Amino acid sequence: MQVNPRHESPIGIFDSGVGGLCVLKEVRKLLPFESITYLADSGNCPYGSKTKDEILSLARKNIEFLLEKDCKLIVIACNTITAVAIDSFRSDYRVPFIGMEPALKPAALQTRTKKIGILATENTFNGRHFKQTFEKHANGVEVFVQPGYGLVELVEQGEQNSEAARRLLEKYLVPMMEKGADTLVLGCTHYPFLKKMIETVTQNKVIIIDPCDAVAAQTRRILSEFDLISQDAGNPRFHFFTTGEKEMAEKFFSFAMDSPCELEQIKI
């Protein structure tokens, strides 16, 4: 693949909403000199229950927006979009893409009971990535698959610590724990925002596997492979956009960046 080697161009990150900020946080830790442009498509969230064509069309608009902003690499910080569409995007665009992988491998290595749970959207479970990773890494390990209906919406509304979140998590996680699961894979980038509530509901009895740091490491590897690591140790630039409401998004972005953030509201 041929890319334009512009070291100082930003990394583009997008998600159906604020979930991908967990990835942004890890990317910043590993690549502190990189500029980042993030697009949260919260106005069209959730993607988890949309059709493949709807997801392809929305995600394409996100990508084209980021390419207009001169991004040198794009992180699809969304398991659902990765599962449904990353193969098409890799063949349609010249820019390198990083996607989310279901973290079954680390979970299979850490479980003692040989039983793990995974929480993700329905579209993620239906995608090729999940099936392949499952076949490759679930060897001898029982996997309980649970769609997290309603969780993304609660996070987007800032209700990750609410009673409603607790009730849904209880409904999804208690049955898998009763069957012996001791490890839980977060298969959606919105779910790390529910970590505290997950710990409460599971009484800290499960190991929580969150793949965001592995995705950041892969981002660094690919940037280096394409010779695109920023050479500028000065001030990285951050540009944040949302298709949803600004006020709520600003709270999430400020949290992820550890400082007050301003966003631009856009239509795609």
The yes-or-no answer on residue 78 being catalytic is yes
Known catalytic residue: 188? yes
Within a 13 Å sphere around the CA of 93, how many CA atoms are in the beta-carbon half? 24
Contact present, 138 and 104 (Cβ < 8 Å) = yes
Closest distance of CB 191 from ligand DGL, Å: 8
| DSSP E strand stretches across the chain | 11-15, 36-40, 73-76, 97-98, 115-120, 142-147, 183-186, 207-209, 238-242, 264-265
Shortest Å distance, C-beta 264 to ligand DGL:
21
The contact set with ligand DGL (CB under 6 A) reads: 15-17, 19, 45-48, 78-80, 121, 124, 152, 188-190
Greatest pairwise CA separation for the chain in angstroms: 52
Residue 123 beta carbon to ligand DGL: minimum distance, rounded to whole angstroms: 7
Distance CA(43)–CA(64), nearest Å, equals 17
* Shortest Å distance, C-beta 156 to ligand DGL: 8
User: 40: Cβ–Cβ under 8 A, 6 or more apart, which residues?
Assistant: 14, 15, 16, 17, 18, 20, 21, 240, 241, 242, 243, 244, 249, 252
Q: Is 52 helix (H, G, I), strand (E, B) or coil?
A: helix
| Residue closer to ligand DGL (CB basis): 124 or 230 | 124
- From the list 22, 78, 212, 261, the catalytic residue is 78
User: How do 73-76 and 115-120 pair as beta strands?
Assistant: unpaired
3-state SS class at 22: helix
Question: Which residue, 12 or 46, has its beta carbon nearer to ligand DGL?
Answer: 46
Which is closer to ligand DGL, CB of 219 or CB of 230?
219
Nearer to ligand DGL by C-beta: 21 or 228? 21
152/181 with CB nearer ligand DGL: 152
**Pick 179 or 266: Cβ nearer ligand DGL:** 266
Q: Which two tokens stand for residue 106?
A: 């680390």
Measured at CB, which residue is nearest to ligand DGL?
48
Cα separation, 189 vs 196, in Å, equals 15
Residue 86 CB, shortest distance to ligand DGL, in Å, is: 12
From 22, 45, 71, 188, active-site residue: 188
What is the DSSP secondary-structure string of 1-20? Answer: ------TTSPEEEEESSSTT
d(C-alpha 21, C-alpha 155), whole Å:
12
Shortest reach from residue 7's CB to ligand DGL, in Å: 29
User: Which residues carry out catalysis?
Assistant: 78, 188
